[in-house]
Amino acid sequence: MPVPTIKTDIKYIKGVGPAKSALFKTLGIESVEDLLLYYPRMWLDRRLETEKLPPYVEKDYVFCGKVVRAFTHYTSSPLMIFEAVIENGASKAHAILFRHRNPRFDIMSKIKTDFQVGKELFIIGKQEPDFLENKIRVEEYYPVNYPQIKRHVNSLIPVYSSTEKLSQKFFRETVFNAISSHINLFEEILPKKLLIKRALPTRNEAIANIHFPKNLKFLIKARERLVYEEFLLMLCAWEFKKRQISSSDKNRRYEIKRHLLTPFKENLGFSFTNAQKKAINEIFSNILSPKPMSRLLQGDVGCGKTVVALSAALLAAENGFQTAFMAPTEILARQHFETFSKLLSHLPVKVALLTSSLSRKEKDLIQAETASGEIDILIGTHAIIEKEIVFKSLSLAIIDEQHKFGVRQRAALRQKGENTDMLIMTATPIPRTLALSLYGDLELSSIDEMPPGRKPVKTWLVSQEEAFSKLKEEILRGGQGYVVYPVIEETNGEIKSLKKEFEKFKMNFPLIKAGMIYGTMKTEEKNITMSKFLNSEIKVLFASSVIEVGIDVKNASTMIIQNAERFGMASLHQLRGRIGRSEKASNCFLVSENPSKEALERLNAVCRTNNGFELSEKDAYLRGSGELMGVKQHGELELSIANPVLDKNILFLAIQDRDELFATDPDLRSRENTILRNKVIEMYGSKWNLIDAG
């Protein structure tokens, strides 16, 4: 074995070897460092005593006693059932284990040996609903004299995101062995003054206790340290990024000439809300300044972000510059193109649409007109950032639904111009704490006011029968509606699938014209279906979550969301934002059969409020920021353990300390800050393109 370092290959850890190391590598774990920084996703409290637990720790059911009876049930299927009765003097449990027959070896023989009458065992599992007996569906079991018992029972147990072939037991054993041999090799990266100021454990202590905490207090303190560290590293990287962007001046100047902006505003047919005016003033102030703009424009569904962004594009056009507008899907890009074309039809502004589905001839024409400067506003999907697309004078880049794009795509669009102003839009309301960590290099504008005349969508948790009854009533009144499904193809009987339910609906209601749309359909089919729905030729649109953004059909006022428990609150809120886009009363019906307690809490929260900011904060608390609003897709936010909502107090401390560090040492090059700086560059340098950071 080579000299131990944190870069030692995982295969050299006791018990691993080449075969198991290959399985670890599928999880991105190649070295000891990777393994020990692969933090548990949660912890199970398997202690026999109880105390109040934080939200990331769950109580596991543990029973200890002697086997008094054991027997096997053989079924006609490949499934075998083993049952044992265990007693400890005070109570009794029926332990049940399910196993599939394996022709290569007798899978039951070991279990029978382990559960011999008289043996004393710990069993861990789920209590089955039974009023007469304490039945336990066993997930793990251990003899009381098992040598490593404290790693698995009667303590706080780590649970890892793993693969089927890497059991939690083996994962824990491997981590324990790595800690035993390598934990003292980790370098401290936080300045000593911050450790003292925030009363944080050392990095070695924190890593050891995040995996195998001595007790709950040690776990809480270890997690606090690692969350703080993760926030501070990312915040320092954002600070370097902000400085990099603002280090050079724009080589252009703007004036508000009003020969496009004034007629645009006069022909809108409505007045800007105060929130829209405030956002426009903030954006214009950035564009008129000598430094490149980096701004996030966020607001709830239907608040009017599009006309704010279009105002910025017109300011660029007034000064002879071009705008690139990138959307994540062709449906959304096409919707924006149609909206822009309609709003600018009376103005000498050329808008074009570029998507991958265009013919080569159409693409070549758009490419030539973009390069010559004929096109003022180019709207498109990822096709905009292809190498052959060259702008004559790009000054403004707008990205819609930023969380669908990675950091490299964002950088690629910005690099189509020189010191390009960038405006990022999101219709997914983000709590300010999350926005600070997601978009640390951006200034924030929020539109928190809805246009007058909009009626809030009423949301109901109902049965499928009631939901479809209400939909039919709306169709008879001349309205239209959506029916949304979480899956397209049938997978099992628990989840209703889009295609199967669409066929059933056509069979049961042949007089109601229905259509279907989902992400992997051919572009031409999608466009035809959406055109028919817009023209009211289709009355009911069966859809996947592809309609979550960018669909604007004023006559659609009813939505049914099937298996609503499968969606996060932010997605449910976005989906219902497809209705309520006129003065008509609109209703969203959530259908969920046997939802869990947590799912029911989420669904009831969606029914109670239309405030997207409130829902996103609740969603982050219940489900974790990793799942929130597609945050896992963010190129920027790659947090292993921190939750910007759950840990917002730690985030604010890290922001305060980051600001103090840079105030006293702007480049983080002092002796006490050098290790921190090097770690920031190591983690984020190439990923965020931090050229000459600091």
pLDDT tens sequence across 195-242 = 999 999 999 999 999 999 999 999 999 999 999 999 999 999 989 988
Task: Report helix, strand or coil for 621.
Answer: helix
CB atoms within 10 A of CB 94: 16
**Dihedral (CA of 529, 535, 538, 540) sign:** positive
Q: Over the stretch 331-361, which tens digit does the pLDDT of each residue have?
A: 888 889 988 999 999 999 999 999 988 899 9
Predicted local distance difference test score (pLDDT) of residue 638: 65
Its sign, for the CA torsion 243, 249, 255, 259, is negative
Min mean pLDDT across 249-258, 278-287, 435-444, 558-567 is at 435-444
pLDDT of residue 691: 64
Q: Tokens for 336, please give them.
A: 């924006």
Q: 271: which DSSP letter?
A: P
Q: Which of 124-138, 228-242, 448-462, 622-636 has the highest mean pLDDT?
A: 228-242
Tokens at 105, concatenated: 């070896």
- The whole-angstrom separation of Cα 40 and Cα 641 is 8
pLDDT at 104 over 70: no
Higher pLDDT, 595 or 285: 285
What average pLDDT does the segment 533-556 reach?
86
Window from 76-90, 400-414, 489-503, 546-560 with minimum mean pLDDT: 400-414
Neighbour tally for 2: CB within 10 Å? 8
Which residue stretches of 373-438 are H helix? 407-414, 432-438
Q: Which helix (H) or strand (E) holds 218?
A: helix 216-246
Mean pLDDT across the chain: 87
Chain centroid to Cα 397, Å, comes to 24
Region 554-563: mean pLDDT is: 93
More confident residue, 368 or 547: 368
Encode pLDDT of 500-527 as tens digits.
Answer: 999 999 999 999 999 999 988 888 898 8
pLDDT at 296 over 80: yes
d(CA 678, CA 552): 48
665 C-beta neighbours (distance < 10 Å), count: 18
Q: How far does the chain reach from its first CA to its final CA, in angstroms?
A: 39
Amino acid 622: pLDDT = 59
546 falls in which pLDDT band (50, 70, 90)?
A: confident
Q: What is the pLDDT confidence band of residue 290, given thresholds at 50, 70 and 90?
A: very high
- What would the pLDDT profile of 50-84 be if each residue is shown by its tens digit? 788 888 898 888 888 999 998 887 766 777 888 89
pLDDT at 520: 85
Please check the confidence at residue 110 and state whether its pLDDT lies above 70: yes
Cβ pair 261, 318 in contact under 8 A: yes
The reported pLDDT for the residue numbered 626 is 40
Measured at the CA of 432, the angle between CA 426 and CA 437, to 5 degrees, comes to: 85
How many helical (H) and strand (E) elements, i.e. helices and strands, does the chain have? Answer: 22, 21
Indicate if the pLDDT at residue 121 is higher than 80: yes
For the record, the structure tokens of 218 come out as 């040690």
∠ CA 50-51-56, nearest 5°, is 105
567 pLDDT band, cuts 50/70/90, is confident
With a CB cutoff of 8 Å and minimum separation 6, the contacts of 1 are 12
Banded pLDDT at 627 (limits 50, 70, 90)? very low
| Banded model confidence at residue 112, pLDDT cuts 50, 70, 90 | confident
CA dist 168 and 146 (Å) reads 16
- For residue range 417-437, what is the model confidence (pLDDT) as tens digits? 998 999 998 876 666 666 666
The number of residues in the chain equals: 694
Please give the share of the chain, as a percent, with pLDDT higher than 90: 52
- Annotate 276-331 with DSSP letters as a single string: HHHHHHHHHHHHHSSSPPEEEEEE-TTS-HHHHHHHHHHHHHHTT-EEEEE-SSHH
Determine contact, residues 146/166, Cβ cutoff 8 Å: no
